């Protein structure tokens, strides 16, 4: 099923990006009337500049190390195809279909601002690829996050009838994919090749999808933590709004409020229900850690949505002044830094999850059966799943290592700094896949603890989650394949079931 979006260059958010990118079948993406006017006006500036004598980067000069080469008037148009072909440097397995669609949508929205100076017909063809579900094959490696030219060129190849694309579950040569979708290759004019490949659309699209998933998963991790809180019979006074107000660290007040809402109505608030006046830090510091993680996430989302709705082209068309100036707006330091920070924050969220899983199986802490096995004796219960939890945490922690620190000068040292944004968000996506399974594992263990503790009442949200888990997998009454049960909870997480959101 397709999706609808109107591109204005001002309002594309990560939720819309994810919805269109992950849609299947025909979509309805279009330019707003104001955006089309901006594109047309900016194109007029490019046409005038192309017929002038002033050197303008990428329009009538070479690129990067070839900056000093001046294109002859009869070379300007032909150079655009040459540019696309020569910059298609990607290697490795293809990027996921959704990432490529996100990149196309991001690039189309960026060009709709007008700063790219692209020909309206070329932009229309890019949007048509999204609408008719033609997805270029883009290899994984080839961008270092200082402009995504080398990977976006693989999208531009299909625009000119080269490269390869997926259409109706078949990978076809670019020209054949266009023909099958009722489209024809574009004839590139001055700056069109550069406009298609310029900017950070691949990085921003990849980031948008990862951050949309992170936002969903962080909320699900809080639901899992709340269910663990109930299974552990932890003390809910730790979420007292007066405590949060006394130390209003970034995100903490809101996180404490979310946890109060998650366990609202629980019998934990009844006199004598909590087992201790003070619990382990993986329970006691939930609002501090999740608050900080949410704050970092929101900063990353803001950085991403700025990229999605900004003109990062070099050179940039300044339509009102009739100028084209070189810029460094393609540099993604803010987006890369926030992505690395989020990966570190999620590692702490994961560490607390492992801590709660271990505590829930520890009879001395819980006064529940050892390893949450109602059988006892030689029964393993969930003890072997501790190894799975630690293995997942190791994977999560591995992806918390910052990627934005790796620098090498390229293009005869002209391009001597980069942000590595694609690598930052590729590893964030991989980290989220492991975190999703850890959250599912905590839910599985927490539900078992609740079953064994038999509290008088679960909070409204916890009760909803517990019911969804038990509709998916039964309680552990004797040893069985717990890994398979955890995978069923992963599928449950993806449906949104058991969530009041």
- Domains in the chain, please, with CATH? 4-198 (1.10.275.10), 212-232+289-310+328-495 (1.20.200.10)
DSSP 8-state code for residue 237: G
Evaluate whether 425 touches 402 at the Cβ level (below 8 Å). no
Question: What is the C-alpha separation between 481 and 108, in angstroms, rounded?
Answer: 48
Distance of CA 92 to the CA centre of its chain: 21
Query: What's the mean pLDDT when you consider all of the chain?
Result: 91
| pLDDT score at 409 | 66
Tokens representing residue 219 in the block: 């909320």
| pLDDT score at 378 | 72
Please tell me the chain's helix, strand, coil percentages from 3-state DSSP, rounded to the nearest 5. Answer: 55, 5, 35
DSSP 8-state code for residue 61: B
| pLDDT score at 256 | 97
Q: For residue 273, give every residue at least 6 positions away whose Cβ sits within 8 Å of its Cβ, in sequence order, or none.
A: 233, 267, 455, 456
Question: What is the C-alpha separation between 106 and 166, in angstroms, rounded?
Answer: 19
- Secondary structure element (H or E) that encloses residue 165, with its range: strand 164-167
| pLDDT score at 360 | 95
Evaluate whether 144 touches 90 at the Cβ level (below 8 Å). no
State whether the Cα torsion 149-154-160-162 is positive or negative: positive
Q: For residue 481, give every residue at least 6 positions away whose Cβ sits within 8 Å of its Cβ, in sequence order, or none.
A: none
Strand partners, 6: 30
| pLDDT score at 64 | 62
pLDDT tens figures, 285-315: 999 999 999 999 999 999 999 999 999 888 8
Evaluate whether 383 touches 445 at the Cβ level (below 8 Å). no
- Secondary structure element (H or E) that encloses residue 92, with its range: strand 91-94
Q: Identify the three-state secondary structure at position 266.
A: coil
Residue 93's closest CA among 158, 159, 137, 144?
137
- Secondary structure element (H or E) that encloses residue 288, with its range: helix 286-308
DSSP 8-state code for residue 52: S
| pLDDT score at 473 | 96
Question: What is the C-alpha separation between 130 and 21, in angstroms, rounded?
Answer: 9
Question: What is the C-alpha separation between 111 and 117, in angstroms, rounded?
Answer: 7
- The predicted model scores a pTM of 0.93
| pLDDT score at 265 | 95
Question: What is the C-alpha separation between 62 and 45, in angstroms, rounded?
Answer: 20
Which segments in the chain show pLDDT lower than 70?
1-2, 58, 62-69, 71, 73-74, 76, 409, 411-416, 501
Can you list the alpha helix ranges (DSSP code H) found in 138-183? Answer: 149-159, 174-180
DSSP 8-state code for residue 275: S
């Amino acid at each position: 099923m397709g999706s609808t979006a109107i591109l204005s260059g001002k309002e594309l958010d990560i939720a819309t990006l994810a919805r269109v990118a992950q849609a299947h079948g025909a979509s309805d993406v279009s330019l707003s009337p104001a955006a089309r006017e901006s594109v047309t006006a900016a194109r007029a500036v490019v046409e005038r500049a192309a017929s002038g004598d002033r050197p303008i980067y990428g329009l009538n000069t070479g690129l990067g190390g070839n900056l000093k080469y001046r294109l002859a008037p009869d070379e300007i148009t032909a150079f655009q195809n040459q540019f696309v072909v020569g910059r298609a440097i990607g290697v490795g397995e293809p990027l996921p279909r959704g990432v490529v669609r996100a990149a196309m949508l991001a690039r189309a929205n960026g060009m709709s601002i007008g700063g790219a100076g692209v020909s309206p017909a070329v932009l229309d063809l890019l949007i048509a690829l999204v609408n008719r579900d033609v997805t270029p094959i883009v290899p994984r490696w080839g961008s270092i996050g200082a402009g995504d030219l080398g990977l976006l060129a693989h999208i531009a190849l299909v625009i000119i009838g080269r490269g390869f694309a997926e259409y109706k579950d078949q990978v076809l040569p670019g020209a054949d994919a266009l023909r099958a979708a009722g489209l024809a290759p574009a004839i590139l004019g001055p700056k069109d090749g550069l406009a298609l490949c310029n900017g950070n659309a691949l990085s921003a699209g990849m980031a948008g999808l990862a951050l949309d998933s992170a936002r969903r998963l962080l909320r699900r991790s809080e639901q899992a933590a709340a269910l663990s809180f109930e299974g552990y019979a932890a003390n809910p006074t730790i979420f007292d709004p007066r405590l949060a107000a006394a130390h209003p660290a970034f995100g903490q007040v809101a996180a404490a409020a979310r946890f109060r809402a998650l366990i609202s109505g629980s019998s934990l608030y009844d006199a004598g229900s909590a087992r201790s006046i003070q619990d382990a830090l993986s329970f006691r510091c939930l609002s501090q850690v999740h608050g900080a993680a949410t704050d970092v996430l929101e900063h990353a989302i803001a950085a991403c949505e700025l990229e999605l709705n900004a003109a990062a082209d070099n050179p940039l068309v300044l339509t009102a002044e009739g100028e084209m100036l070189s810029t460094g707006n393609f540099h993604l330091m803010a987006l890369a830094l926030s992505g690395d920070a989020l990966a570190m924050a999620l590692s702490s969220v994961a560490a607390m999850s492992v801590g709660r899983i271990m505590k829930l199986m520890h009879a001395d802490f819980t006064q529940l059966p050892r390893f949450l096995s109602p059988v006892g004796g030689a029964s393993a219960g969930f003890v072997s799943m501790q190894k799975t939890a630690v293995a997942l945490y190791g994977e999560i922690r591995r992806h918390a290592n910052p990627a934005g620190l790796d620098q090498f000068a390229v293009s005869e040292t002209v391009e001597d700094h980069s942000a590595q944004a694609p690598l930052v968000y590729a590893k964030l996506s991989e980290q989220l896949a492991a975190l999703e399974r850890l959250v599912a594992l905590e839910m599985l263990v927490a539900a078992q603890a609740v079953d064994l503790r038999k509290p008088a009442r679960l909070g409204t949200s916890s009760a909803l989650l517990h019911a969804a888990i038990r509709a998916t997998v039964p309680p552990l009454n004797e040893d069985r394949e717990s890994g398979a049960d955890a995978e069923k909870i992963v599928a449950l997480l993806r449906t949104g079931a058991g969530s009041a959101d």
